[in-house]
Structure 1
Amino acid sequence: MPRPSASNSELYKFHRTRLHLATPHPLKRESIRALRNLAAHRTPRVPPWPRAQSAAVLVALFVGRHGDLYVLLSRRAATLRTYAGDTALPGGKVDPQDRTIEDTARREAFEEIGLPRDKHKVPLLCVLEPFLAGNQLLVTPVVVLILDNTLRPILNTPEVHTLFSHPLSAFLAADFPALAPSDAPSGEAEMAALELQYHTYSDVPWPWQPRTFSAEASGSSASPAASPRPVDQCVRMHRFLTGREAGGIKPIFGLTAYACLGALPVD
C-alpha cells in the first residue's frame, strides 16, 4: 500500500544536522566557516505552493585533498527535451511519495548520479531559499555534505552525460580560479576559458521565461557573492565559466548558479 503524500506545508519539515567536521581531508579555515554557516542557516518560511509545481535540486559538497569545498555538477544528456547539454545540479519535481523537499532532492540525486540517500554518509547541511522559475515552478536548493570519499557515481546516462566538480570558493572570484593539479581540467580547456571573462551577469526582467536568458553578458562584477535578488522588477542571473568549455561543458548559469551562490559563506 503506497504511503500517503505529504501536504505542501510538510514539505519543508526536515531534520537538523549536528555538524561534525570528521571529513576525509583536513579542512581549510574558509571551508570550516562555510560549513558552520550552512549548518546554522534557517530556511525562511515558504508561502503555500502547489506540490505539482514544486521541485528541488541537490547542492552536494565534498572536501578536496587540499581542504577546499567542491560542488558536484553534471552535464545533462544531449538527448533530453529540455535544457539539453546544460550544466546542472541533480534535481526534479516533487513526487507523490516524497515526504519532504529534502526527500525530493535526495531521490533525484540517487536516480541521476547514484548518490546514496544515507543521511550519515551524506548529512543535510541546510535548505536554502526557494527560487521561482519563469514557468512558475518553485525550486528549492538542498545542501548536503558528502563525508564518504569512497562513494563512486553511477550515472543515469539517458539523463546525465558527465559528472564533474567546481570549487565552491570560485563563486566568490572575479577571475578564473587556480585549481589544484588533481582537480584542474585539461590545459586546452583551461586556456580556452582564460580567453573569456570568467564571471558575467545579466539583469533579466521578471518574470523571465525559460531559455530566454542570453549567454552574452550585460555586465560583470568583481564581487558576485550576493545571491540573485529582484531589483526594480529584475533578477540578476550570474554566469561562471568552468574551464571545461573546450570539452563541451557549458558555463554555470541561471538556477544552478543561484543555488551555488546560496551555499557561499556569509559574514
Structure 2
Amino acid sequence: MTSPSSPATLTDSLLAERMAADPAAPLITHYDLGEDSRIELSVVTTLNWAAKIGGLLRDGLGAMPGDTVVVDLSSHWLSVTIPLGIWWAGCAVALPGGPGAEDAVATICTVDRIDAHDDADELFVAGLDAFAMAPLDLPPGVSGLVAEARPYPDSFSPTPGGGAPEPLAWTSPSAVGKRSGRVLSVDPDTRELVESLVAVFSGGGSLVLASTGTGADWSDSGQGPETDDSAARATAEWLDGIRATEKVDRSDAGA
C-alpha cells in the first residue's frame, strides 16, 4: 500500500486499513450462472490484481497521475479490481462518453463490449470466463488485460510526489454513501458496479456479484421479472440460494 512518501489514493482510502487488519478476509465473491462458478477474492488477492493493473497503466503504458481511463465492464470479479488499479495509478475512472472520457489515455472493457471501442487509443479487454482470459483472436491493436497485467508485481506504491488527484465526482465515497455487511449486486452495469464497490468497501462491507446473463431486471426487491418461464424461475431460485449461502442483506443490495 502507500508508503510515507506516496500520495493516498482512493484505493488506499478504501482498503489500506482492511489490508492491515485482516488481509485474508473475503472481499469479492462472484457467482456466474452460465459458467456455474463461484470465485472468491480476499482483500490481499483483490489488491494483488489491482497492483498488476496499476503497474500496467503506470509502468507499461506510461499513464500519469491525473490521466483518465475509460471503463466499460460487465459483472465479473476482475471488473471490481480494475477501478482499484486505475485509482492506485493516480488516474480517474470515466464512463464511456462521460466526463473525462474524451481525453482518456486508455480504455478497459470486457470482451462483450469490444465493438463499442474501436476508436480507443489503447484498448485492453478482459474475458468473462472464470479466469478472465480474453480470446486469443483479438483484433489488431487490442490487448488482453490479464495477459498484459500478469507480469507486473503483486504490490504497488503510488508515484512519490505525483499527488493524489480527486476522483471524478460520481466515484467519490461522499457521493455514493456507505454500505456494510455482505452486499449483493446482480448484473450491475458499469456505473452501478463502480458505485457499489466504493460504497461497500468504504463502509467496511464485502461485495457479492451475481452474473445471470439473462438481460432481465432483477432489481425489484430481488424478485426478478414476473413470468411463468421456467428459466426465469430457475434463475430466481439460484439467486435465492446465493442470498442464503452468503447471508446477504437484501435491503442493502438493490438486487
TM-score (structure 1 length as normaliser): 0.28
TM-score (structure 2 length as normaliser): 0.29
The structure in which a higher percent of residues are helix is 2
The structure in which a higher percent of residues are strand is 1
